[in-house]
């Protein structure tokens, strides 16, 4: 039997050359992979959660406060004219006699100017003693108030001329400026309040523009009503103008509304 030792050695050497070497795995590489997967999972979870909260969260709400106003031109319907007449004499009887003579002339002049008897009112006689520093009474002043009140405004223009006529006749008729008042203010208040509130809502929408949504009103504060001369800018000042027949009634409101984007 022959033993070929040389061939066996060459075959073993060939097998060793064909068989690949196995790669060794380092012990920390699986740990790095698990960390990367964990981080990716956490980031994904946060993104989903943020999206859900963003979708489910109600829109952010705010408030806006604006001022609204309304006005209306009116015509006064009541005329009132106040005046006084006074007499000073050494005695009360002498002062009263002179005062009675003057009031009679005043009434006659007003009647002639077109005022009716029921539109003329004479007040009670007021007596004022006049004294020296020693306390001794030297004279008495007696005075009386006169009021002309009428709803016939055109007819009262002539009555106003009485003042100068009486003064020219030495009758001390001391008259104040006439007052013209509008009696429908109570009826007009709710109408103007509603118009001023509507105006405040229009102003609030304009202030927000197209990017905001105007909600309900949270509070409305109504200011003072004003009666002013035509052309006045004192809206809501609380003034009460009585100097002319033509007047303007106005009111301002402060309104707060909810808004959202």
Mean pLDDT of all residues in 119-125: 98
Smallest CA-to-CA distance from 255 within 52, 62, 68 is with: 68
pTM of the model: 0.70
What is residue 122's three-state secondary structure?
strand
Distances (CA, A) of 117 to 113, 114, 150, 187: 12, 10, 11, 30
pLDDT 10s digits, 71-107: 999 999 999 999 999 999 999 999 999 999 999 999 9
- pLDDT of the residue at 14: 42
Q: Which residue has the higher pLDDT, 170 or 17?
A: 170
pLDDT 10s digits, 200-238: 999 999 999 888 899 999 999 999 999 999 988 777 778
Where does the pLDDT of residue 58 fall: very low under 50, low under 70, confident under 90, or very high at 90 and above? low
pLDDT exceeds 70 at position 29: no
- pLDDT of the residue at 53: 52
The per-residue pLDDT of the chain, averaged, comes to 84
Q: How far is residue 225's CA from residue 250's CA, in Å, rounded to a whole number?
A: 6
Give the E-state strand segments of 151-241 in sequence order.
174-175, 179-181, 213-222, 226-228
Q: How far is residue 158's CA from residue 125's CA, in Å, rounded to a whole number?
A: 27
Q: HSE (CB half, 13 Å, CA atoms) of 156?
A: 22
Domains of the chain: 61-75+184-260 (3.30.110.170), 78-179 (3.30.70.2970)
């Amino acid at each position: 039997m022959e033993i070929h030792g040389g061939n066996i050695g060459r075959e073993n050497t060939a097998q060793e050359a064909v068989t690949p070497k196995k790669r060794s795995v380092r012990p920390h590489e699986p740990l790095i992979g698990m960390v990367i997967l964990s981080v990716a999972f956490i980031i994904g979870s946060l993104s989903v959660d943020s999206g859900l909260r963003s979708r489910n969260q109600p829109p952010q709400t705010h408030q806006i406060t604006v001022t609204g106003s309304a006005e209306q031109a009116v015509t006064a319907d009541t005329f009132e004219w106040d005046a006084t007449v006074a007499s000073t004499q050494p005695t009360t009887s002498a002062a009263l006699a002179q005062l009675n003579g003057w009031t009679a002339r005043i009434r006659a002049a007003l009647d002639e100017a077109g005022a009716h008897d029921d539109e003329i009112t004479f007040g009670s006689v007021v007596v004022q003693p006049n004294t020296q520093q020693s306390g001794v009474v030297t004279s008495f002043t007696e005075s009386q108030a006169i009021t002309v009140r009428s709803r016939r405004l055109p007819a009262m223009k002539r009555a106003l001329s009485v003042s100068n006529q009486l003064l020219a006749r030495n009758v001390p008729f001391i008259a104040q400026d006439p007052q013209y008042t509008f009696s429908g203010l109570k009826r007009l208040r709710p109408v103007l309040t509603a118009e001023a509130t509507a105006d405040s809502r229009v102003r609030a929408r304009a202030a927000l523009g197209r990017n905001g949504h105007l909600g309900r009103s949270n509070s409305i504060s109504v200011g003072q009503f004003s009666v002013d001369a035509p052309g006045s800018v004192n809206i809501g000042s609380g003034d009460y103008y009585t100097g002319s027949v033509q007047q303007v009634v106005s009111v301002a409101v402060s309104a707060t509304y909810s808004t959202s984007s």
